[in-house]
Structures are given as structure tokens and as C-alpha cells.
Amino acid sequence: MLFNKFFSRGKKEERVLEKIRSHIELLCKACEMFRQALEEGNSGSMRKISDLEREADGIKRKIISGIYDGAFLPYLRPDLCRFIENVDDVFDLLEDTAFSSMNIYLPGKIRDECFRIAFLNQRMCEMLLITFDAMVKGDDLREKVLAIRIYEKKIDDMKFGVLCDLRELSIDNYWHGKTLSDFVAGLTTISDIIEDASDHLQIIHLSMR
Amino acid sequence: MWKISSGIFMGWSLGANDSANIFGTAVATGVVKYRVAICLTALFVMVGAIIEGPKCMATVGGVSTLSPLDAFWCTLATAITIAFLTYLAIPASTSQGIIGAVIGAGIISGTADFSKLYKIVVCWIFTPIAGCVISVILYRFIGHIMKTKKVGIARKNFCLATGLIISGCYGAYCLGSNNVANVTGVYVSSGMISAEVAALVGGVSIASGVLTYSKKVMMTVGKGIVPLDPLSAFITMLSEAISLHVFTQLGVPVSSSQAIVGAVVGIGYAGDSRTVSRKMLVKVGLGWLATPVLAGVLSFIFIKGLGTILLNFGL
């Protein structure tokens, strides 16, 4: 086992990193699909997000087993796993939000803001992928992590506006109100989890310096 | 030959105790499995003891002239001192213990050579300082390379894992070469065995301690050092090994524990963080003073009291 480590020259680690990259790429794809489906009101595309979430679950399992099969120093493993869990949480939330969106009609007052938030979520995922690539290459992450924080702040500001608009809406059906509220909460929480994931990337990067 | 038994016992306890300084971090962080770690430590301790062990033996024996029975009492006094201080959780050095004991015996026989003690004490003072200075230099140097050179995370991980294993093997080699004199050095000066045989017996006894009873201390020390990141752990181990190797070339047995404490302090200084508390440093200082004094007093009591009784029985 010891000699395997010597002769593999980090191949195990590279395999795990490739899988993590494809996990994040899939997240970018899911976010893009969600945004397009939301803008077009396409329920068929929204349903496909569940398929992507299942695919992501499979990749996550392979990554975790790869890590505990001996890839990376045990010192790094908890932070790497937390990062993977964060990305998986985004998938779960995106799936729930997609499900909520299929059961509501978006009121005109908040419609455009929701589209913008979905777009920013997609941008954040892309930035997360760029940050991950930079970490893998050993580049500086500060600017990338800062960009993610700026996106998150922007979404937070928009969230308060959307919530104010929501309060002014008259709701005649409990389930419609709840689903709408769940949808907005999900849509605006995705950015928080992506920010947490980027923080973990920063921690992993600093741990290896 | 029964008189060597106390040396073998001391070698066993040294192996069980000090191997923690070598692979403790690597085992606790999971880089190396415990079994692999003890096999590597035992192997490299033996290699170090056989190749460079005799270098320090003249120093241990040169402090005073010992009879075979005095040599037995000296190693026994050191072993008891180390066990007692370990029980009090005070870091103790076998190197300081054995020199203190030999001086104690030399005072009785009137052969104590204090001029040689001067060189030894200077080396003791410089052991933690050397560990500290080397770790600061290595931390700044390697840290600078890591920051300026664009190295991918997979390669960094491979370099650190390999570095921890290689520095552990080097540390074991240096432990064997430096500390084997503490175990059997006194038997060489008393004319019981040759330096080569002493190195072999000492190496085997240290290796047996590593193989049979090192798990507990290794886990305790390793988990105590785990808060260090992999780079700091690697530099700490390498600094300790280099310090020991330098003092081996000077022919003076020194404490591996003090070298590693010095290295950890150096990392704390270089990284601008508090890794060692003042209380810990006081404890180390206390062990530094208490070990040679206590071992010296004990060997004095043994030779004066028990030695006379044994002589009366014709042993």
C-alpha cells in the first residue's frame, strides 16, 4: 500500500479531482437548465433536473469512496468531503426548487427578479468551477472567492426586495402561498450554499500552502 | 553479561517512547499505517545505530571511567529517572539522563571529567535552539517555494505525503545513530563490549521497543501534533532529524524530544501563531534540568548503597 502511494504519483488524487470537476460541471448544466426552464415555463426541462440530481448523486458516491480509498492526506479529506456535500446540497435544493416552480404561477411583480436570481445562481456555479480549476492548478483564489461573495451579496439584496413584493401579494390558497414561498426561499438559498462551497475551496487551498 | 540487561531495558523503553517523535504525526494523520511506521522506524533505527552509532559512544564513556557494575547502575538509574519523569508527564531525555548518571558514578570513583561535560552541556543548550532555527529556515524556504511556484493540489499532496515518509525514515536513522550511545555506550567505556557490538545490541533493543510497545505514545504525540498542517509536520520532523544528525557528527547524544519541541516552537514563530504554550516550555525546561540531576543522584545512591551490598555478596 505504501509503495502504491509512491509509484502512483498522485494518480488517485487526479482521478478524484476529475470526478469533482464533472460534479461541478453537472451543477452548472443543471443551473442553466433551471434558468431556461423557468424563463420558458418549460415543465419538461424542469423534470430533467431530477435526472441530473440522480446522476450527481452517483458521481458524489464515487468521489467519496475514491477519497476514502486513499486519495489525499487524511488531513484534507474532511474539507474535501464537506465541499462535495455542499455541491450535493445545491443539487438537492435545485431539485426541490424546480419541483416547486412546476406547481406555481410566478406573479409578474417578482417574475423578472426571480429570472435574474436564477441567472446569478448559474453565474455563481460557473465561478465555482473556475475557482475549483484554479485550486487544482495551485493559482490564487482570492479574487475568484471575492467574486462569488459579491454575487451572493447581490442575490441577498434582491431577496429582500422579492420578499417585500411577496408580502404585498394577496394569497387565496394556502398551498399556492406555501409553494411560492418555498420556491423563493430555495431560489435565494442556493447562493448561500455555493458561497459555503467556495469557502471550503479556500480552506483546502490554504491548508496545502 | 547480565549487566547489559539494564541497557537493553533502557533501549526498549527509549524505542517505545521516542519513536513517537519520528512517525507520530504521519501515523496520526493517516499518511502511514501504524504497522508500516513501526517497521520503517525499527529498520532505520537499526541502520542508523550500526552505521553511525559508534560516533557518540566515546562521548558517553569519556565523561568518566566506569567499571561494568557501575555501567549497570548508571543505565538502571537513567531508566528509572526516565520512567519517573514520564509518569509525571515531564519530557525527559535519555541522553541527559545517562550523562548525569555517568557523572554521578564518576564523582564516586573520582574519574569524572568535567571538561568534556562543557561540550556536552553546550550541545544540550543548542539542541532545541538548533531545532527551532532549522525549522524557521526550512519553513521560510519551503513555504516561499510553495507560494511562488505554481504547484497543483495533487502534486502538492504527493510531495507532502512522500516528504512525511522520507523525513520519518531519516528521523529514525538519526535517532538510532544518535541515541544508541545512551543505551550501550557505557558498556563500551567499561570494556565489556566493542562499539560495533554495542551499536548492534542497542539498535536491536531500541527496535524491539518500537515494535512492541510504541502505539500508545505514538498516538498521544501524533494527535497532539495533528493541529499542525502537513507542511509544518513535515518541516518539524525534518528539522528534528537534521538537528540530531548534526549532533551525531559532533559525537554528542542529544534529546530528540527537545529537538522536536524546538522545531515546533520555530514553526510557531515562522507562522506567526501560538503552537506551544509557556506552560509547556516551563515543563520542557524542568525536564531539561531534572533529568541529569535526578539520574546523577540515583546512580550515586545505587553505587554507594546497593553496589556496596552487591560487592559484599561477591557479585
Q: What is the C-alpha to C-alpha distance for residues B92 and B98, in angstroms, rounded to an integer?
A: 11
- CB–CB contact B153 A135 (8 Å): yes
B284 touches chain A (CB under 8 A): no
What confidence tier does A5 reach under pLDDT thresholds 50, 70, 90?
low
pLDDT average, residue stretch A19-33:
97
Between B112 and A60, whose confidence is greater?
A60
- CB–CB contact A138 B161 (8 Å): no
To the nearest whole number, what is the mean pLDDT of chain B?
A: 85
Q: Residue A172 pLDDT > 70, yes or no? A: yes
Give residue A136's domain range. Answer: 3-207
Query: Percentage of chain B with pLDDT > 70?
Result: 92
Quote the pLDDT of residue A18.
96
Quote the pLDDT of residue B46.
95
In the 8-state DSSP scheme, what is residue B228? S
What confidence tier does B60 reach under pLDDT thresholds 50, 70, 90?
confident
- CB–CB contact A5 B155 (8 Å): no
Quote the pLDDT of residue B53.
93
Q: pLDDT tens digits for A128-165?
A: 999 999 999 988 899 999 999 999 999 999 999 999 99
Among A1, A2, A136, select the one facing B153 at the smallest CB separation: A136
Quote the pLDDT of residue B291.
86
Quote the pLDDT of residue B45.
95
What confidence tier does B58 reach under pLDDT thresholds 50, 70, 90?
confident
Q: pLDDT tens digits for B201-214?
A: 999 999 998 998 88
Query: Percentage of chain B with pLDDT > 90?
Result: 30
Question: Residues of chain A whose C-beta is under 8 A from some C-beta in B?
Answer: 1-2, 5-6, 9-10, 13-14, 17, 72-76, 135-139, 204-205, 207-209
pTM of the model: 0.83
Q: pLDDT tens digits for B285-302?
A: 787 788 889 989 998 888
Contacts of A153 (CB under 8 A, 6+ apart): none
How many Cβ pairs within 8 Å bridge chains A and B?
Answer: 67
* Window from A157-166, B215-224, B233-242 with minimum mean pLDDT: B215-224
Contacts for B31-37 with beta carbons within 8 Å, 24 or more apart?
B31/A73, B31/A74, B31/B161, B31/B164, B31/B165, B31/B230, B32/A2, B32/B164, B32/B165, B32/B168, B33/A1, B33/A2, B34/B215, B34/B218, B36/A1, B36/A2, B37/B168, B37/B218
- CB–CB contact B31 A74 (8 Å): yes
Structural contact between residues A127 and A141, judged by C-beta atoms closer than 8 angstroms: no
CATH of the domain at A177: 1.20.58.220
Structural contact between residues A19 and A66, judged by C-beta atoms closer than 8 angstroms: yes
**Which residues in chain B touch residue A6, judged by CB atoms under 8 angstroms apart?**
162
* Window from A38-52, B20-34, B40-54, B169-183 with minimum mean pLDDT: B20-34
Between B111 and A124, whose confidence is greater?
A124
Single-letter code of the amino acid located at A158:
M
Q: Residue A197 pLDDT > 90, yes or no? A: yes
Q: What is the C-alpha to C-alpha distance for residues B101 and B171, in angstroms, rounded to an integer?
A: 26
- CB–CB contact A209 B147 (8 Å): yes
Q: What is the C-alpha to C-alpha distance for residues B244 and B225, in angstroms, rounded to an integer?
A: 19
**Which residues in chain B touch residue A136, judged by CB atoms under 8 angstroms apart?**
152-154
* Window from A19-23, A141-145, B275-279 with minimum mean pLDDT: B275-279
Quote the pLDDT of residue B315.
57
Q: pLDDT tens digits for B143-169?
A: 888 878 888 888 888 888 889 899 999
* Window from A20-24, A184-188, B92-96, B199-203 with minimum mean pLDDT: B92-96
What confidence tier does B70 reach under pLDDT thresholds 50, 70, 90?
confident
Among B32, B158, B229, select the one facing A2 at the smallest CB separation: B32
Q: Searching chain A, which residue's CA lies closest to the CA of residue B160? A: A73
CA distance A53 to chain B (A): 27
Q: Residue B226 pLDDT > 80, yes or no? A: no
What confidence tier does B260 reach under pLDDT thresholds 50, 70, 90?
confident
Q: Residue B305 pLDDT > 60, yes or no? A: yes
Contacts of A125 (CB under 8 A, 6+ apart): A24, A27, A28, A31, A90, A194
Single-letter code of the amino acid located at A156:
D
Exposed, middle or buried: residue B47 (CB in 10 Å: 0-12, 13-18, 19+)?
Answer: middle
pLDDT average, residue stretch B113-139:
91
**Which residues in chain B touch residue A142, judged by CB atoms under 8 angstroms apart?**
none
Between B216 and A57, whose confidence is greater?
A57
Contacts of B79 (CB under 8 A, 6+ apart): B6, B9, B10, B13
**Which residues in chain B touch residue A135, judged by CB atoms under 8 angstroms apart?**
153
Between A198 and B295, whose confidence is greater?
A198
B154 touches chain A (CB under 8 A): yes
Structurally, chain A folds into a number of domains equal to: 1
B156 touches chain A (CB under 8 A): yes
ipTM above 0.90, yes or no: no
What confidence tier does B221 reach under pLDDT thresholds 50, 70, 90?
low
pLDDT average, residue stretch A113-136:
96
Give the cell for residue B199. Answer: 551499536
